[in-house]
Amino acid sequence: MRHGEIVHVAGTPIAFAAEVDRVPANIDHFWITIGMGTGEPLRIALSTHSRQNAAAGFDPRMRIGMVASVWTELPRPGILKSPGLDYHQIEAASQVAYAEYTRPALELLLMDKSRRAIFVEAWGELYVRTHIGIHQVHSMRASCSVLRDFIGRDGTIRFYFDEDSRAELLLFKYCGQA
């Protein structure tokens, strides 16, 4: 797999953290590191705030939708190339209500889910820096401040919990994304 490809990753959460910066306006990520059973861990970078929307005078909050389900078997851990996702297809199959979250509130939500999860899977764009990870774990449709519209390249994350074999798929949207 190459940098920039859309991938599906799955594994056990081993660490999580909110981004830290001496300039609070620069903080816009929450990271979850998963172990996939072989090789090095992988970092999932989740957007918690839109600096581009804030700079353009739009609402910088993330809108989060959730699709709950029950699992009977965990996915296989690892990383695979993905054909991509489209939120419109997910939303057509499930009733999804979105709520706006400020960065601190979203960080608390993600900390709680990361702490309780026994397994995580996510879809996004592969990157390789000093570590391997995925980003673009959100809708890639046109937004208030980004006019490009990428269909079929949406990213998302699903948390698996022990309690009642519950799973929660989180959809991330920016201001102006339908």
124 within a domain of the structure (yes/no): yes
> How far apart, in whole angstroms, are the C-alpha atoms of residue 17 and residue 139?
22
What does the pLDDT look like over 114-124, one tens digit per residue?
999 999 999 99
More confident residue, 4 or 47: 47
DSSP-based three-state secondary structure for 63: strand
**Going along the chain, which residue ranges are E strands?**
6-18, 29-35, 42-47, 62-70, 78-81, 98-101, 117-128, 132-135, 156-161, 166-173
1 within a domain of the structure (yes/no): no
**Mean pLDDT (whole number) for 54-71:** 97
pLDDT on residue 134: 98
Domain range for 62 is 6-173
Confidence of residue 178 (pLDDT cuts 50, 70, 90): confident
pLDDT at 176 over 90: yes
Residues 159 and 170: beta-carbon distance below 8 Å: yes
> Which CA distances in Å does 90 have to 20, 65, 66, 67?
32, 11, 11, 9
pLDDT on residue 75: 97
> Which CA distances in Å does 1 have to 8, 38, 81, 96, 120?
11, 16, 7, 32, 20
pLDDT on residue 33: 98
128 within a domain of the structure (yes/no): yes
Give the chain's domain count: 1
178 within a domain of the structure (yes/no): no
> How far apart, in whole angstroms, are the C-alpha atoms of residue 155 and residue 20?
23
138 within a domain of the structure (yes/no): yes
pLDDT on residue 38: 83
98 within a domain of the structure (yes/no): yes
What does the pLDDT look like over 15-55, one tens digit per residue?
999 999 999 999 999 999 999 988 899 999 999 999 999 99
Name residue 4's amino acid: G
> How far apart, in whole angstroms, are the C-alpha atoms of residue 21 and residue 42?
22
pLDDT on residue 1: 79
95 within a domain of the structure (yes/no): yes
123 within a domain of the structure (yes/no): yes
pTM of the model: 0.96
> How far apart, in whole angstroms, are the C-alpha atoms of residue 145 and residue 117?
33
